[in-house]
Amino acid sequence: MSEILRSQILKRVNITDEEYQRCITFFTPKKIRKKQFLLQEGDVCKYIAFVLKGCLRCYAVDKKGDEHVIQFAIEDWWISDLSSYISGQPSLNNIDALEDSELLLIDTTSREELLNEVPKLERFFRLLLERGYVAASQRLACTIAVSAEERYLSFMKAFPALVQRVPQRHIASYLGITPEALSRIRKHLSEKK
């Protein structure tokens, strides 16, 4: 299963078999069941997680108890609360499994040791952070300037696998709309066909 991680690393940096074998020793495998938490609000985020199998979501809960999905992660994706992970401050978010999932976790100490032992991975993690920043910036701009229907169409185009795997209420939350609004959008789109 760790070949998925190897493949992702090799898309961004060239590492030898020996470097990869060293790299994988810094990760801890973890299985979590559907609805189980990887992180709960108020705890410090100790890990960056790479998804080998399954589906997770990162979300915040407002004072009314409404959930606001920030991120999904399926196979070959990463998930964490980097703000908490980097600062050591309590997280404002939760991360839980939408499906039974298998992960590779790396904590801050292990990550630093890994970067010292395999310096090429410094570039790999920098590229991941850059990609994540760009995605977050685009999502923010889209949320501000694009209609709910256009956001849904963009989501379907960018993440077709998620449309089939994630409950509609979570997609609505990610898009910043109510489940009822998403239902109306889906109905309208099906009538247009």
172 located within any domain:
no
The DSSP code sequence of 111-132 is HHHHHHH-THHHHHHHHHHHHH
16 located within any domain:
yes
How does pLDDT run across 105-134, given as a tens digit for each residue?
A: 999 999 999 999 999 999 999 999 999 999
Q: Which two tokens stand for residue 104?
A: 């590779």
Tally of domains within the chain: 1
78 located within any domain:
yes
In terms of Cα–Cα distance, which of 152, 136, 160, 155 is closest to 190?
A: 152
From residue 106, how far is each of 81, 151, 169 by CA, in Å?
13, 33, 30
CA distance 99 to 54: 5
Q: Which two tokens stand for residue 178?
A: 């109510």
Q: Which residue has the tokens 């789109």?
A: 189
The whole-number pLDDT of residue 192 equals 82
58 located within any domain:
yes
Q: Would you say the pTM of this structure is higher than 0.85?
A: yes
For CA atoms 112, 118, 123, 124, the dihedral sign is negative
178 located within any domain:
no
CA distance 137 to 20: 31
14 located within any domain:
yes
What is the arrangement of strands in the sheet containing 28-32, beginning at the earlier edge strand?
28-32, 101-107, 47-53, 78-79
Residue pair 46/107 in contact by the 8 Å Cβ criterion: yes
Residues in the chain with pLDDT values less than 70: 1
Residue pair 50/78 in contact by the 8 Å Cβ criterion: yes
The CATH code of the domain that includes 11 is 2.60.120.10
71 located within any domain:
yes
The whole-number pLDDT of residue 2 equals 74
Gyration radius (Cα) of the chain, Å: 18
To 5 degrees, how large is the angle CA 95–CA 97–CA 102? 110
Domain carrying residue 75: 3-117
31 located within any domain:
yes
